[in-house]
């Protein structure tokens, strides 16, 4: 009888992990279907019952994708745009987050921060045309900057960094650096940024996913084939009469893999940044 509560806890944990495993398989199934379909012919993709393991494994979809599209140029464009957008976002949001976290006495601090938070409720479609007209005025249409600059100083990113720095960057350390003669930017760069690496990694992963998968804005501001990104190139494979689903699956796989690799590489920092707010400092 003394082991009864322990056995019940073990049974509950077992059921809990079984349910979590089932949910994980459910969420991973679309990626598995994408993976196996990339190595099938068009007919094999729609075979009933479905082939869960491709036989034979073919690579023709990747060959045709390379022949029919400017794949490597699109991949390079996506890397440049996403990398530039992530770096600019991390710099601007962390700088603004540091200012909001460590200068609460500044004039208009509360009103400005509330205004930034309120802007999170504005749908992106509302700002689409004004942003486009501004880029036309700046002669940035069909350039990398048209994809990198808009949205880089996001309200969510500023809020995210402000909350993390408020809890994890000690005021005593900042004041000590000021006494030692450090400038405000040196305090931000040498103290706040290193301490905030987990939050920066988490924000960087989220921004990378958003920038890499940005399809609608790319359709608006990119005009020539040599400037198109991977999502646009893959989307344009769809035809009105016939869609090469094998090529579409191969392109989707190539578009997804870099995001998975980036997440696996920064997994520890990402989890640390996500969970930091749940731990009392």
**215, 230 contact by CB (below 8 A):** no
Residues 39, 244 contacting (CB under 8 angstroms)? no
Dist CA 202 CA 113 (whole Å): 22
Distance CA 277, CA 275 (A): 5
- How many other β-carbons are positioned within 10 Å of the β-carbon of residue 76? 14
Q: What pLDDT tens digit does each residue of the chain (281 aa) get? A: 455 777 888 888 888 899 999 999 998 898 899 999 899 888 888 888 888 888 888 888 899 888 888 889 999 999 999 999 999 999 999 999 999 999 888 888 889 999 998 988 888 888 899 999 999 999 999 999 999 999 899 999 999 999 999 988 898 999 999 998 889 999 999 999 999 988 998 899 999 999 999 999 999 999 999 999 999 999 888 876 677 888 889 998 989 988 888 888 877 777 776 666 544 44
Angstrom distance (rounded) from CA 197 to CA 98: 13
Distance CA(100)–CA(161), nearest Å, equals 9
Domains of the chain: 70-278 (1.10.3720.10)
pTM score of the predicted model: 0.86
Helices of type H across 1-51: 4-37, 42-45
pLDDT attached to residue 144: 95
Neighbour-count burial of 37, counting CB atoms closer than 10 A to its CB (0-12 exposed, 13-18 middle, 19+ buried): buried
d(CA 150, CA 266) in angstroms, rounded, equals 25
């Amino acid at each position: 009888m003394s082991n009864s509560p322990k056995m019940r806890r073990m049974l509950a944990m077992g059921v809990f992990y079984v349910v979590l495993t089932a949910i994980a398989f459910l969420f991973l199934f679309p990626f598995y279907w994408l993976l196996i379909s990339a190595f099938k012919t068009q007919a094999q993709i729609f075979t009933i019952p479905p082939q869960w393991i491709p036989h034979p494994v073919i690579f023709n979809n990747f060959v045709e994708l390379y022949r029919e599209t400017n794949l490597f140029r699109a991949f390079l464009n996506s890397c440049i745009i996403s990398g530039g957008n992530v770096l600019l976002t991390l710099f601007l949001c962390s700088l603004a987050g540091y200012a909001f976290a460590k200068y609460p006495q500044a004039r208009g601090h509360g009103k400005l921060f509330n205004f930034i938070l309120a802007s999170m409720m504005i749908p992106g479609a509302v700002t689409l045309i004004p942003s486009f007209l501004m880029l036309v005025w700046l002669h940035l249409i069909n350039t990398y900057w048209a994809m990198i600059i808009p949205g880089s100083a996001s309200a969510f990113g500023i809020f995210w960094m402000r909350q993390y720095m408020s809890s994890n960057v000690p005021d005593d350390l900042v004041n000590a650096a000021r006494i030692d003669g450090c400038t405000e930017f040196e305090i931000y760069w040498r103290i706040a940024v290193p301490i905030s690496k987990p939050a920066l990694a988490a924000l960087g992963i989220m921004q990378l996913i958003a920038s890499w998968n940005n399809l609608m804005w790319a359709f608006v501001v990119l005009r020539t084939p040599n400037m198109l990104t991977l999502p646009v190139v893959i989307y344009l494979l769809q035809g009105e009469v016939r869609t090469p689903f094998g090529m579409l699956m191969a392109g989707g796989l190539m578009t997804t893999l870099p995001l998975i690799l980036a997440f696996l590489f920064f997994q520890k920092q990402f989890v640390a940044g996500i969970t930091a707010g749940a731990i009392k400092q």
